[in-house]
Amino acid sequence: MRVISGRVRGLKLDTPKNEDVRPTTDRVKESLFNIINSYIMDSNILDLFAGTGSLGIECISRGAQKCVFVDVSKESISIIKSNIRKARAERESIVINSDFKDAINKLTIQNEKFDVIFMDPPYYKNMFVQALENIDKSNLLNEEGIIVVEHDSNDEFPENIGRLEKSRDKKYGNTTLTFYKMEA
């Protein structure tokens, strides 16, 4: 797994030894960033269920102002911190070792707003809708922001969750990216 573009292009990132974390493949990541590249420069990013931190680090490499990385796993947090050091992205990074609900509550209390929110929760655990509902209620997404959910292609998502509206799906074999924006 590597950084595809930007100031640390080509940097090889650490990955976990076990299979609990499914890093986003380079093919999916490249396609994803072709779709959302206009959102990245000078933006605030939330990498929820961050795993290795590769999506947030890709954003920082491409000019994001800040990325908050959230994961409940201590092993993932260790890998994220190592990858942040390798990318020399400490100034732009905040790492939170917490479950998504507590992290969303903490970020809401701090009045944080994000331009891009990545969600890649463990497959088959049905956390997607609950996380999207919490994001909607917390008002974490900027008006013009976007949420990207990476999930198994067999999962189906509602067209609307609160004020969030599905804007598109993009399928890559067993992986699908679903995009949500605030209703117009």
Within a domain: 16 = no
Segments forming the whole domain that contains residue 104: 26-182
SS3 track for the chain: CECCCCCCCCCECCCCCCCCCCCCCHHHHHHHHHHHHHHCCCCEEEEECCCCCHHHHHHHHCCCCEEEEEECCHHHHHHHHHHHHHCCCHHHEEEEECCHHHHHHHHHHCCCCEEEEEECCCCCCCCHHHHHHHHHHHCCEEEEEEEEEEEECCCCCCCEECCEEEEEEEEECCEEEEEEEECC
User: What are the pLDDT digits (tens) for 95-115?
Assistant: 999 999 999 999 999 999 999
Instruction: Residue 149: give its domain's CATH number.
Output: 3.40.50.150
Average of pLDDT values for 159-166?
95
Question: Quick check: 124 pLDDT over 70?
Answer: no
Question: Quick check: 89 pLDDT over 90?
Answer: yes
Within a domain: 120 = yes
pTM for this entry: 0.94
Averaged pLDDT score across all residues of the chain: 92
pLDDT for the residue 69:
98
Based on the structure, what is the number of domains in the chain? 1
